[in-house]
Amino acid sequence: MSSRNPTTGRAALGAAADRAAGLVAMVPAVIDQATTDTSAAAWAALAGYGVVAAAGLAVRRHRPLAVFGVILAVLAVVEVAGAAAEVKLSGLAVLPVGFALYAVGAYSPRRRSIAAGVLGGVLIAGGLLVNHLTAAEEWRGGSDVLAYVAVLPVAWSLGVAAHSRRALLAAAEGRAADARAHQHLLAEQAAAAERVRIARDMHDVVAHSLTLLVVHAETLRARSDRLPPWARTGVDDLAAAGRQATAEMRDLLGVLRDDTGGIAPRSPAPTLAGLDELADTARRSGNPVTLAVTGPAGRLPRPVQLAGYRVVQECLSNARRHAPGADVDIRLDTGAPGIDLEITSGPPRGPVPGPDSAAGSGLGLAGLAERVIALGGHLSAGPTAGGGFRVAATIPATEGSHGALW
Q: How many residues does the chain have?
A: 406
Partners of 389 in the β-ladder: 345, 383
Give the gyration radius of the chain's Cα atoms. 43
Regarding pTM above 0.85, the answer is no
Q: What is the pLDDT along the chain (406 residues), one digit of tens a residue?
A: 444 555 565 666 666 776 777 678 888 888 888 888 888 888 988 888 888 888 888 888 888 888 888 888 888 788 778 777 777 878 788 888 888 888 888 888 878 878 777 777 776 666 666 666 665 565 555 555 666 677 777 888 888 888 888 888 888 988 999 999 999 888 888 877 777 777 666 666 676 667 667 777 777 767 767 777 777 777 777 777 777 776 666 666 665 655 544 444 555 678 888 899 888 888 888 889 999 998 887 788 888 888 899 899 888 888 888 888 899 999 999 877 789 999 999 988 866 655 444 444 455 778 788 888 888 889 999 999 888 999 999 998 865 455 444 4
How far apart CA 85 and CA 397 sit, in angstroms, is 88
- Biggest CA–CA distance in the chain, Å, is 134
How far apart CA 215 and CA 235 sit, in angstroms, is 11
How far apart CA 395 and CA 388 sit, in angstroms, is 23
Q: Are 296 and 334 in contact (CB under 8 A)?
A: yes
